[in-house]
Amino acid sequence: MGKNRDIENNGGNGGTDKLIEKFDRLVEKKGITLRDADNFKVMENVFDDQTLLALYKLVNKGKISAIGGSISTGKEANVFYAEDGDGHPAALKIYRIQSANFNTMGEYMAGDPRFSSIRKSKKEFIFAWTKKEYANLIRARDAGINCPQAYLFDRNILLMEFCGDRETGTAYPQLRQAAAGFTKSQGEEIYHAIIADMKTLFNEASLVHADLSEFNILFDGEKHIIIDMGQAVLPEHPGAVRYLIRDIKNINRFFSRFCEPLEDEAVFKEIVGAERMQP
C-alpha cells in the first residue's frame, strides 16, 4: 500500500516523470517485459499520471507480465499488446483522459441507469466509461456473442482477450480489410450471422452496439468478432432505437456488395419483434 500511495502523491510539474521512474523501477523489479519502451512512454496524451498509476497497480499485483507495441489507435483510446500475469496474450486498452471527446461519448452515457450517478469531471467520466465497456463485454459474452473476453479494469485501463495470432502477436484484420478475400456466398453467410448476433445482443444481452460497422468487427479467418463495446446501450436508452437503425444501415450498406440485404425495417422487426418497437 505504501508504494501505491507514494506514486499517487507525485503531482505538479515533473510528476509524470517521477511516476515513469517509479514505474520503470517496478518493471525492472518484477521482471516485466516492456517492448518498444521509448514509443510506449512518450505518448503523453495516453500515459498521464492516472494511467501510469493504474498501470503501476496492475503490474504490482501481477496482473500484467509484458507490455508491447500498439495494436490500434482509436478516437478515444489506444490498444496495446500485453500479456497477463500467466504470460498469456492480452489486449491493454487505455482510454485517453485529456483528449477524449466527451460531447460525443456523453450521449451514450446519458440515459443509462447503470451510470446515472457518475460525476461530470473528465477523469470520473472516463473511469465510468471503462467500467461500462467491461460490463458490456461481460453481458455480450455471457449471451454467446463472439467478442473479446474482458479480464479486468482499473480506472481508464481495460485488460481483455487478445484477438489475433498468438504466435506473432498480430491482431486479426477488421472486417473491411478481410472482406477483400470473401466470396459472395461467404459474405452472405457472414452477413446473416452478424444480423443474428445483433438479435442476440438485443434480446439476450439487452444491448444495442450503437457503433456497429466494418470498422468494429474483426475476422479471424473463420468467424467474425464484435469489438468496441464502450458505447453500447441498454434498449431503454432514449437513443437505442436510433442507434440500432444506424447499425442496421451500416451492416446492410457494407454487405450489399455480396448479397441482396434485407430491408432495414425487416431487420429491425426481426431483432426487436414486430410488436415491441416501431422505428
- Annotated active-site positions, please? 211, 228
Neighbouring-strand partners of residue 233: 208
How far out from the chain centre does Cα 83 lie?
A: 17
User: Which contiguous run of DSSP H or E holds residue 197?
Assistant: helix 184-203
**Amino acid present at 204:** E
Residue 6: CB atoms within 10 A of its CB come to 13
d(Cα 96, Cα 99) in Å, to the nearest integer? Answer: 6
The CA dihedral of 255, 257, 263, 269, to the nearest 10 degrees, is: -10
3-state SS record for 192-242: HHHHHHHHHHHHCCCCECCCCCCCCEEECCCCEEECCCCCCECCCCCCHHH
**Amino acid present at 108:** Y
Pair 255, 185: CB distance under 8 Å: no
The CA dihedral of 199, 247, 72, 181, to the nearest 10 degrees, is: 80
Pair 150, 138: CB distance under 8 Å: yes
Strand-pair category, 89-95 with 157-161: antiparallel
